[in-house]
Amino acid sequence: QVQLVESGGGLVQPGGSLRLSCAASGATLSIGAMTWYRQAPGKERELVAWISSAGDSTNYADSVKGRFTISRDNAKKTTYLQMNNLRPEDSSIYLCKGLIADFAGRSSVYWGQGTQVTVSS
C-alpha cells in the first residue's frame, strides 16, 4: 500500500519553469533520503538531485546546478523539484526514488511511475 506518485510534469517553453512533486502515500513510519532521476529515450538513467532525510543536505548533477532546487516537506510526505530556466535537453521522464519504512518495520526502496517533462518551442 506504500507508494510514490509524481506529478507536475508537462509541456513548457525553453526558459520556463515547472515544479515536480513526489508524494508518498500509505502507512509510512519514516522516509529516508529521496532522489530525483530522469531518463530520456535511448539514454541511461541520470541522477538529477538528492536530498537527505532531514532536508539539510542536497546534491545535484552538474547539468542542473543553479537551475534546479530539490526540497521536501516531511509533514506532507512530499519531495519537490523546482526546475527553472528549462532547456530542451531537460526533456525526459522524471522519476523519484526513496527508502521508506512501513509500520511493520520493513524498509524498501520505492520508485514512482514517472512524470513526463517536455521542453520545446
pLDDT-based confidence at residue 5 (cuts at 50, 70, 90):
very high
pLDDT for 105 beyond 90: no
Q: What is the pLDDT of residues 60-89, one digit of tens each?
A: 999 999 999 999 999 999 999 999 999 999
Residues 114 and 6: their CA atoms lie apart, in Å, by 6
Residue 94, CA distances (Å) to 4, 41, 111 in order? 13, 12, 11
Give the pLDDT confidence score for residue 17 in this predicted structure: 98
Give the pLDDT confidence score for residue 1 in this predicted structure: 81
Angle (nearest 5°) at CA 2 between 104 and 77: 105
